[in-house]
Amino acid sequence: MAKRASGKASATSAIGPDGLSRTIPERIARRVWVAAGGRCTICNSYLLDEEYTGQAVMVGQLAHIVGWSTAPGSPRGGDPLHADQRNLADNLMLLCHDQHKVIDDKSLWDTYDPTTLRAMKRTHEQRIRKVTALKEERKTTVLRVVGNLHGRPVELDDTRVIAALLERDRFPDWTLRGADEFEVDLRAVPGEDPGSPHYWTAAKAHLEDRLEHLRTQVRKGQVTHLSVFALARIPVLILLGTMLDETLPTQLYPKRRDGSEGWGWSPDAPEVEFRFDRVRIGTDRTKVAVILSVSGTVDPERLGEAVGDSCTLYELKPDGITPAPTLISNESTLDLFSQTWRELLATIEVEHPGARDIAVFPAVPAAAAVSMGRHLMRVAHPPLRIFDRMQDFDTYQFTISTACADEQKGDPR
């Protein structure tokens, strides 16, 4: 029997658009609340606490997908669902007050039809079941490194991170979150667009500070697995890779280039192999440079004065395929890229003893840049002198070095 709602929240009350409420049997109401995880099916708000005071007040509402009445004012009430089934769990969803009001507004009944609402309920409840099934060992600590790209800030909110992690059956730990919304936020560092020396110095200092926090948490045993979401200037990402603990299990998550705002790999993407060639032999074996033509082609004619006749030049590129931004779209391709990069470093170690550094001109995607840094062995390989294309310059300009003592006041040469 319907009655006028008293205004007092009840876990077993279903409130209609006319303010009338109907009591749902406790066993059915409990099933809906548990299946929804105590969260709004549409906006995911937590409904067991009042938002502003944090008091333990149930603010959720049981909402009918097909209205309990066939009367004209009943939302979706004209659906053929039998009246005996309208107060069962399959026809009820947990919503916050605002979303309940939205779906029951008569002007939106066509938008929120029974099929759409059932799909929302099914998707939400499946996600809650999957998340709550994850055990402690599936926890991963999130490290987001974001900057500005071509003057536009990178956006990467918690929702996108969680969605990417759930694809890998993991759930997030936010131990490393900084004072702002990200773990490493380079968006406020000035000079990124022109690539001024000050920018690279400040970016390196900020990375070192935040990564020291990571190392502290690893030593304390608070971080046992790391998930990296990084999108910033390529030299910064290579440097980031050198600062990550190689003994800490780490997964990289790239930003997808399929037009969506999602992050993660595309397992069905084709696997690509790589090769490296010696483009020319220099007159001085201690001078060596590498161009990486992966996401695009690096023109040797634009390397500038950094690579003269005395320098031996290598090129790493896809084997038999034209370089493209989407080339590395799955983890197996990233592994093949990393393997070829390690082989090239080993070749340089043997063929160029005494080299004090390696000049690097990278056209690579973000995940490959981080991987380059991760596979650089400081004890065996020379540090990298990383160059990048800058606005207002026809040639590549020096940005940053992976050498520990580099004070980043410009190219030391």
pLDDT in tens, 195-213: 688 889 999 999 999 999 9
In this structure, are 162 and 249 located in the same domain? yes
In this structure, are 129 and 140 located in the same domain? no
In this structure, are 182 and 282 located in the same domain? no
Position 178 confidence tier, pLDDT thresholds 50, 70, 90:
confident
In this structure, are 100 and 149 located in the same domain? no
Q: What is the mean pLDDT of residues 238-243?
A: 96
Domain assignment present for 259:
no
In this structure, are 100 and 147 located in the same domain? no
Domain assignment present for 178:
yes
Where does a domain end: 106, 133, 160? 133
Domain assignment present for 263:
no
Position 262 confidence tier, pLDDT thresholds 50, 70, 90:
confident
In this structure, are 126 and 165 located in the same domain? no
What is the CATH number for 389? 3.40.50
Specify the pTM.
Answer: 0.77
pLDDT in tens, 216-239: 999 999 999 999 999 999 999 999
Q: What is the pLDDT of residue 407?
A: 39
Given a cut of 90, whether residue 170 has pLDDT beyond it is yes
Given a cut of 90, whether residue 165 has pLDDT beyond it is yes
Position 51 confidence tier, pLDDT thresholds 50, 70, 90:
low
Domain assignment present for 99:
yes
Position 18 confidence tier, pLDDT thresholds 50, 70, 90:
low
Domain assignment present for 146:
yes
* Residue percentage of the chain with pLDDT more than 70: 91
pLDDT in tens, 89-116: 999 999 999 999 999 999 999 999 999 9
Domain assignment present for 390:
yes
In this structure, are 36 and 50 located in the same domain? yes
In this structure, are 85 and 111 located in the same domain? yes
Where does a domain end: 133, 154, 189? 133
First to last CA, the chain: 85
Q: Which two tokens stand for residue 259?
A: 């037009």
Given a cut of 70, whether residue 408 has pLDDT beyond it is no
Q: What is the mean pLDDT of residues 123-135?
A: 88
Q: What is the pLDDT of residue 406?
A: 42
Where does a domain end: 133, 153, 182? 133
| Total tally of structural domains belonging to the chain | 3
Domain assignment present for 266:
no
In this structure, are 362 and 393 located in the same domain? yes
- Report the alpha-carbon distance of residue 246 to residue 377 in Å, rounded: 10
Domain assignment present for 326:
yes
Q: What is the pLDDT of residue 56?
A: 61
Lowest mean pLDDT among 1-15, 76-90, 146-160, 250-264: 1-15
Domain of 56, in residue numbers = 3-133
In this structure, are 86 and 145 located in the same domain? no
Most confident of 181-185, 186-190, 373-377, 395-399: 373-377
* Residue percentage of the chain with pLDDT more than 90: 64
In this structure, are 346 and 285 located in the same domain? yes
In this structure, are 63 and 185 located in the same domain? no
